[in-house]
Amino acid sequence: MTEETIRAFVRRAIEDIAPDADLDALDPRASLREELDLDSMDFLALVRAIHAALGVAIPETDYAKIDSLDGCVAYVLRALAAPA
């Protein structure tokens, strides 16, 4: 899976959670929670969407690593590249 494919998936997942969000204006390094005003349930929905669609389990201790679009994409890329 490519970085572009993962980025597109994460963007779609965010759009499902926050349909009014302007993702084109989002700084990819900015906090998703702060920039999009995601509450903890919204963020958990993103974590669950990633797990369900891509099979990547994200422990709560790693949530800070996926708080930005770039961070989320990088995390998923590393997780998918890691040996099973």
> How confident is the model over 12-41, as pLDDT tens digits?
999 999 999 899 999 999 999 999 999 999
Looking at residue 84, its pLDDT comes to 66
Compute the average pLDDT of residues 49-56: 96
Predicted TM-score (pTM) of this structure: 0.92
Among the four given CATH numbers 2.40.50.140, 1.10.1200.10, 3.30.530.20, 2.60.40.10, the one describing domain 3-81: 1.10.1200.10
Structure tokens at 8: 């597109």
Contact by Cβ (8 Å): 6, 76:
yes
Contact by Cβ (8 Å): 51, 57:
yes
